[in-house]
Chains A and B, each alone.
Chain A
């Protein structure tokens, strides 16, 4: 059922059947270290290149989630996946090894939110019984694509973030799994551009998009922010989260239960400046920390809002401003 301009309430239940996360060594030493399903010793994972390693992580995350869900490969109806590599090769190459239908999705770091919403629609409409939603990112592939070679001796700007090496996969289903958790609603984001040009300040570029989606979600569902235990944004980072709080206050929303996956991801000692980012940031956090918190009953309702900056290296060289997006996924215990 559509509820307002951009919010959808899923009439037929959509359950989170299982979640699986794989991360790199540094991520394993971060704040969520104990929650991940698999932590790699080496970011190359025995592959010839980091791109191949990312693809393998993506594939293993989907396989891991399927095993945890207790489903066979022929039962999985659709694979929705995306990542940050050019032409989303991480997800598409991983999909070579599955026989089911595949759709590649891309909304930069908000891709996981996009996949979850699309997957929920496929389940709720009755078209599919099991849908897999997965995203990945890799520090070393992102650095060479968006920034500089790894061995170049440069300094990071204080507003910069660290791309998470990680992959996460959630299997959505029409049947209840171990989590007793359902996707009850979602708000699709719109592209917001507040004129931020600095590509090393993604938090600043994405905070207005996150604010817009959160406000629209609360308005359209006529809910108060306290309806949720936590409102999780994807990868705004510490500074981006401050900006989000400021914008929400400015619009008259005093929300105290905000949290950001990116800002929480690494410890201060890891010197990542503003925290984690990347398509794997939100998905690996969701499929580890957030799901575990639901499982042990700490969370009953969460609004999960992955955020993405929709730029490319060329657009920033051409001095274009950074458009951003955020999608809200409403998760409730049942």
Chain B
């Protein structure tokens, strides 16, 4: 069998991701995580009525990161990710999961070369792009604003 024909066959016949099901679940779960974020923000506002908005946003983010890390530690976030896909990866809880999961995985290789060095194997690109994007935006702000 020729290579070209074989690759074409694979392209046509290989099982595909069920788009409708995965899109719907990721939409629902992603939306639900955002609702929790909003709820956290509202609760904080109810407790600390005088807190400035910027600080309120920061504490909401911190709480969500904590929840993501906690669920990862309890071994629940990967199960959520199995169904939700992008819905649980995109929110900040997913970022927490991507940092905590390698840290847990490489715990056995020691603190220095295990946990600390492998912690960013998954989240590294996100951090790099985040920093680069913020530098670019900062330069624009400096020049034009």
- Measured CB to CB, the residues of A under 8 A from B are 48-49, 144, 148-159, 194-196, 201, 204, 208, 211, 239, 242-243, 246-247, 250-251, 273-274
Contacts and interface: CB of A to CB of B under 8 A. Distances in A.
A312 to B, nearest CB: 16
B122 A159 contact: no
Interface stretch (B2-10, B35-43, B50-58, B124-132): B2-10
A155 B94 CA distance: 13
Contacts of A152: 78, 81, 97-98, 101-102, 122
18 contacts: A144-B105, A148-B101, A148-B122, A149-B102, A149-B104, A149-B121, A151-B77, A151-B97, A152-B98, A152-B101, A153-B88, A153-B101, A154-B82, A155-B22, A155-B85, A156-B82, A194-B3, A211-B1
A211 B9 CA distance: 16
Interface range on chain B: under 10, 10 to 19, 20 to 34, or 35 or more? 35 or more
A204 B10 contact: yes
Q: Name, among A154, A156, A211, the residue most crowded by chain B CB atoms within 10 Å (CB to CB).
A: A154
A3 to B, nearest CB: 25
B97 A153 contact: yes
Q: Name, among B15, B77, B79, B97, the residue most crowded by chain A CB atoms within 10 Å (CB to CB).
A: B15
B86 to A, nearest CB: 8
Q: Name, among B3, B85, B105, B121, the residue most crowded by chain A CB atoms within 10 Å (CB to CB).
A: B105
B97 A251 contact: no
A48 B85 CA distance: 31
Contacts of B17: 155, 157-158
A195 B77 contact: no
Given A149-B101, A194-B6, A242 B81 contact: no
